[in-house]
Amino acid sequence: MFAGVTLAISVLGFFLKKNKAEIDSLKSVIRKLEISDARNTERIRTLLKVVEDRRKDIQNLYEKTQK
């Protein structure tokens, strides 16, 4: 009986360790994706600001040529 309990506990421990390794691997991948997403979001914000600034510049140039 004790051998059966010991075997069950060791099998359970094996699968818990295996799942923990998978979870750690997935956490690492998720962290890299979050960093990449944050970088891309910041790039998009910068590009939108540049585009808006250029749009205003073009509007100003158009207004000056119409006077």
Q: 10-66 pLDDT, tens per residue?
A: 999 999 999 999 999 999 999 999 999 999 999 999 999 999 999 999 999 999 999
C-alpha torsion angle, residues 58, 63, 66, 67 (rounded to 10): -140
Question: Taking 90 as the threshold, does the pLDDT of residue 3 lie above it?
Answer: no
What's the predicted TM-score (pTM) here? 0.63
Measure the CA–CA gap between 44 and 37, rounded to whole angstroms.
10
> Measuring CA to CA, how many Å separate 43 from each of 39, 50, 62?
6, 11, 28
pLDDT of residue 55: 96
Measure the CA–CA gap between 62 and 66, rounded to whole angstroms.
6
CA end-to-end distance (rounded Å), the chain: 98
pLDDT of residue 23: 97
Question: Taking 80 as the threshold, does the pLDDT of residue 67 lie above it?
Answer: no
